[in-house]
Amino acid sequence: MTLQPQWGQGGSVVVLTGATGYLGRALARGFADAGATLVLTARCETTLARFAEELAPCGVPIHTVVMDLTDPAAGDGIVGAALKLTGRIDALVLNAGTLADGLVAALDGSDIAQVHAVNVHGAFGLLHAALRPMILARRGAVIVVSSAAARRPNVGQAAYASSKAALEAIVRVTARETAGRGVRVNGVAPGLLDGGMAARILDEARDQAVAAIPMGRLGRAEEVVPTVLFLASPMSSYVTGQIWGIDGGWTA
């Protein structure tokens, strides 16, 4: 049997949240390079428009939807806009996230609520809205960006780690519910990356963190992209309900 790689996303419509963040930018470039039509979402209109201009040389259709995921109407708004702009959604990448670190004994209730509002409720709202067109189409791939912190949380990560653990549970449940409808749901769990949110928590303990990673270094956003492309592609047609660790061996 000869496997013919089908990494390309040519003609696929990919909706990506958190498109202007460190990992979001790398994911958008990866999908654009693979030929996907992109629907990029983020909160800041100016930053999103500028990033879309940066991607223009890739030569693929790029649409933008400015939306705050904590808006209860965000899920329906993004899916409605995507369907109006492109007619379908082949892949949904739930990448947007936030954090609020602090010891549990000191953490404010509003901090954990805000983190869950974006990471769990925001992602859930969009997932909920996107499943209808995917189920009707009998096809679709959802990739949730979790974190190694869901499996191996560190001191101060109660809000963030609990939100990612909740997301992973949603991935597994949704995968079971939609597997018979041609919709696959998976997650990636990056470890410490050399940019984005991780950069904020590393100022205090960068050396300690790196020492705990078997590969002895931080990851790069570009190293997360291939796994997400794989999970969005027909190459992973028999893969659903899984969380893929991309962490240099940290959770091994």
Partner 1 sequence: MTEPAALNVVVDMIRDTLSLSGREGEKVSSDTLLFYHLAFTSMDLLDLLFRVEQHFDIAIPDGTLYGLARGEMPDAEFATDSVLSAAGKARLMALLNDTPAELFPERIHAASLPRFCTVGAIARLVDARLAAREPCSS
Catalytic residues: 160
Rounded least distance, CB 138 to partner 1, Å: 8
In the set 5, 105, 180, 252, which binds partner 1 (CB under 8 A)? 180
Rounded least distance, CB 92 to partner 1, Å: 17
Single out the residue of 237, 250, 240 nearest to residue 154, CA to CA: 250
Q: Is there binding between residue 132 and partner 1 (CB under 8 A)?
A: yes
In the set 63, 88, 128, 181, which binds partner 1 (CB under 8 A)? 181
**One-letter amino acid for residue 247 of the chain:** D
> Closest CB to partner 1 among 126 and 218?
126
**One-letter amino acid for residue 212 of the chain:** A
Rounded Cα gap, residues 65 and 13, in angstroms = 14
> Closest CB to partner 1 among 133 and 156?
133
Q: Is there binding between residue 135 and partner 1 (CB under 8 A)?
A: yes
Identify the sign of the CA torsion 107, 118, 19, 212.
positive
Extract the tokens encoding 50. 């500028």
Identify the sign of the CA torsion 11, 96, 188, 247.
positive
Please tell me whether residue 72 adopts helix, strand or coil conformation: coil
Single out the residue of 224, 156, 210, 143 nearest to residue 183, CA to CA: 143
Q: How many residues interact with partner 1 (rule CB under 8 A)?
A: 7
**Interior angle at CA 159, CA 43 and CA 143, nearest 5:** 55
> Closest CB to partner 1 among 68 and 177?
177
Q: Is there binding between residue 177 and partner 1 (CB under 8 A)?
A: yes
Rounded least distance, CB 176 to partner 1, Å: 9
Q: Is there binding between residue 87 and partner 1 (CB under 8 A)?
A: no
Phi/psi at 187 (nearest 5 deg)?
A: -135, 160
> Closest CB to partner 1 among 66 and 135?
135
Q: Is there binding between residue 73 and partner 1 (CB under 8 A)?
A: no
Q: Is there binding between residue 76 and partner 1 (CB under 8 A)?
A: no
Residues that bind partner 1 (CB under 8 A): 132, 135-136, 177-178, 180-181
